[in-house]
Amino acid sequence: KGKAKKAAKLATKEIKRAAVLGAGIMGGGIAYQSAYKGVPVVMKDIRQDALDLGMNEASKIMGKLVDRGRMDHKKMAKVLSSITPTLLDEGVKGVDIVVEAVVENPDVKGKVLAQMESIVDTDTILVSNTSTISIDRLAKNLKDPSRFCGMHFFNPVHKMPLVEVIRGEKTSEETVAAVVAYATRMGKTAIVVNDCPGFLVNRVLFPYLAGFAGMVDEGVDFAGIDKVMERQFGWPMGPAYLSDVVGIDTADHCTVVMADGFPSRMPRDTSSAIAKLAAAERYGQKNGKGFYNYG
Ligand code: NAD
């Protein structure tokens, strides 16, 4: 009876305050969306310039809404004031959920998650926005994996409706319920998926991108492939442009994780077009140069 009571309490654990680790493309977007939907958020990064960029992005998104008459200045100020940027780990104390959105590297994520677990309250939920890394693999870094799962948003966060909630082997049902409720509160459609590298969407997407990179390696013009995929095949963007939007470094890390996870299905090609661009520090839109150049 006691257990059920505890479970019921956890199942209705409302997320009233959140923290996001990483203020990059995804962390900044998640922080904005949470604040916009009324859940105040602490945004933590290791670089001040990343925090500044995260705040600027939120201002830009809302500036457009204000210009179109869909938001007033008062609401914009309120949203901005409910995002608290910080460089300090201690800044995340007292939150109900921590969303990890740092670089797609299992070792870095493992360290960051373990460090967070040692700081936050024992009933704080930890989630990872990893694109591809298995949740059970990340959970090995934690003392209590029952409070941990994947919460995978898509880019750009304020526009993309889907959130994959990834249930690890040891994730409790209460944790899943609370994370689904938080995603819904953020205006998103949550789907609960089982754990594997890439989950649902990226198990489909990365073999596609590997196929594209293989054609580029064979000498096919990347812009030509984009044109066909966009204009004739009807997709909103082609694979080269999509890789620039995702971030070439992130796409490269994800390709490695997927190739290791599905060796018989995905090539582990360290000299592919995407790997070459990453090595040349052409990271896509985030640093102004990837497959394409951005002014
Ligand atoms: P990004 O390079 O834009 O941002 C990463 C941020 O993390 C940087 O600002 C960096 O300074 C910060 N960081 C690094 N170590 C940190 C630490 N120890 N503590 C706090 N901050 C730290 O990357 P991104 O595109 O936002 O990706 C972040 C995560 O989201 C990755 O796991 C990625 O796979 C995932 N993701 C990315 C996309 C996408 O389209 N870019 C989509 C879904 C999920």
> For the stretch 225-255, what's the b/e string if a residue is b when 16 or more beta carbons lie within 10 angstroms of its beta carbon?
bbeebeeeeeeeebbbbbbbebbbbbbbbbb
Residue nearest to atom 15 of ligand 1 (CA): 102
Q: Choose, from 73, 152, 158, 253, the residue flagged as catalytic.
A: 152
Q: Is the pLDDT of residue 10 over 80?
A: no
Do the domain assignments include residue 267? yes
Looking at ligand 1, which atom is closest to the CA of residue 28?
26
Residue 136: both structure tokens together: 């059970």
The complex's ipTM works out to 0.98
165 with 20, same domain?
A: yes
Distance 1 CA to ligand 1 centre (A): 42
Domain at 154, CATH number = 3.40.50.720
- Per the structure, how many domains does the chain have? 2
Local confidence band at 9 (pLDDT 50, 70, 90 cut-offs): low
Looking at ligand 1, which atom is closest to the CA of residue 27?
26
In tens, the pLDDT along 239-248 reads: 999 999 999 9
Distance 100 CA to ligand 1 centre (A): 8
Distance 246 CA to ligand 1 centre (A): 10
73 is catalytic: no
Do the domain assignments include residue 292? no
Residue nearest to atom 40 of ligand 1 (CA): 246
139 with 237, same domain?
A: no
210 with 267, same domain?
A: yes
Do the domain assignments include residue 181? yes
120 with 265, same domain?
A: no
102 with 51, same domain?
A: yes
180 with 227, same domain?
A: no
Residues having CB within 6 Å of any atom of ligand 1: 21-27, 44-47, 50, 101-104, 108, 112, 129-131, 153-155, 246-247, 250, 286
54 with 87, same domain?
A: yes
Q: pLDDT at position 3, please? A: 52
171 with 41, same domain?
A: yes
Looking at ligand 1, which atom is closest to the CA of residue 249?
2
CA torsion sign, 259 to 265 to 267 to 268? positive
Do the domain assignments include residue 137? yes
Q: pLDDT at position 112, please? A: 98
Give me the phi and psi of 25, to 5 degrees please. Answer: -50, -50
Identify the domain boundary among 140, 165, 194: 194
Contacts with 84 (C-beta within 8 Å, 6 or more apart), sequence order: 40, 41, 42, 43, 91
- What range does the domain containing 237 cover? 203-287
181 with 220, same domain?
A: no
141 with 189, same domain?
A: yes
Q: How far apart are the first and last CA of the chain?
A: 62
47 with 179, same domain?
A: yes
In tens, the pLDDT along 150-168 reads: 999 999 999 999 999 999 9
Distance 76 CA to ligand 1 centre (A): 25
Domain at 235, CATH number = 1.10.1040.50
Distance 187 CA to ligand 1 centre (A): 22
Q: pLDDT at position 22, please? A: 97
Identify the domain boundary among 175, 194, 213: 194
Do the domain assignments include residue 293? no
49 with 103, same domain?
A: yes
In tens, the pLDDT along 90-148 reads: 999 999 999 999 999 999 999 999 999 999 999 999 999 999 999 999 999 999 999 99
Do the domain assignments include residue 294? no
Looking at ligand 1, which atom is closest to the CA of residue 21?
20
Do the domain assignments include residue 295? no
Q: With contact defined as beta carbons under 8 Å apart, do 188 and 199 qualify?
A: no
Q: With contact defined as beta carbons under 8 Å apart, do 162 and 205 qualify?
A: no
Identify the domain boundary among 139, 167, 194: 194
